[in-house]
Amino acid sequence: MLKQFIPDQYVQSVYDISIEELKEKGVKGIITDLDNTLVEWDRAEATKELTAWFKKLRDHDFQIVIVSNNNEARVKKFASPHNITFIYRARKPSSRAFKTACNLMNLKREETVVVGDQLLTDILGGNRGGFQTILVVPVAENDGFFTKFNRRIERRVFQAMKRKGLIEWEKSDGSS
């Protein structure tokens, strides 16, 4: 049961993901969460650093799709200026939106990686869909209402995984 929550990789931020390593593994597409993965949940626009990261991905021929549980207005306002395809109200951890994103990119699952900040939505949904998954540390320490609830459960899952020796890394926020 706990193995469904284990990401293939754990990094501090999206900027720590090795694009070269992904290319070597045959990855051509990135499905990413938005809130607290790319920017703070209450930030409307991408930072300059994030805009440069998007450009770097495109320069390396990666496709990007944002898959978010948030509403259309929120996701569209963020994604549209960068010409990023998006899926809103994704109902993660259901893997359906991840599969749809993969189809939108015309890629196979093994050519796609799922990036997110939550075990209970992004990693579980990506793993259930048969995707490679990368967990990032949330970019903000505060969360929206529903995410706060998920974080409490997530802390317990992390503790259980650590007790069973299923993880070799520590969460940087001290909740491991």
As a whole number, mean pLDDT of residues 131-147 equals 78
For residue 1 the two structure tokens come to 């049961």
Torsion sign, CA atoms 159, 35, 120, 136: negative
> Which regions of the chain does DSSP assign to beta strands (E)?
9-11, 29-32, 63-67, 85-87, 112-116, 132-136
Rg of the chain in Å (alpha carbons):
15
Please report which confidence band the pLDDT of residue 13 belongs to, taking 50, 70 and 90 as the band edges: very high
Measure the CA–CA gap between 13 and 151, rounded to whole angstroms: 18
The DSSP bridge partners found for residue 30 are 64, 113
**pLDDT tens readout for residues 15-26:** 999 999 999 999
Residue 176 has a pLDDT of 41
Looking only at Cα atoms, what is the longest distance across the chain? 44
Please report which confidence band the pLDDT of residue 175 belongs to, taking 50, 70 and 90 as the band edges: very low
Residue 163 has a pLDDT of 74
* Residue-range domain boundaries for the chain: 2-163
Please report which confidence band the pLDDT of residue 143 belongs to, taking 50, 70 and 90 as the band edges: low
Residue 138 has a pLDDT of 87
CATH ID of 2-163, from 3.80.10.10, 3.30.565.10, 3.30.70.890, 3.40.50.1000: 3.40.50.1000
Residue 17 near residue 49, CB atoms below 8 Å: no
Please report which confidence band the pLDDT of residue 104 belongs to, taking 50, 70 and 90 as the band edges: very high
Residue 144 has a pLDDT of 57
Comparison of pLDDT for 156 and 63, the residue scoring more: 63
Please report which confidence band the pLDDT of residue 139 belongs to, taking 50, 70 and 90 as the band edges: confident
With helix as H, strand as E and coil as C, how does 70-97 read? CCHHHHHHHHHHHCCEEECCCCCCCCHH
Residue 19 has a pLDDT of 95
As a whole number, mean pLDDT of residues 118-124 equals 91
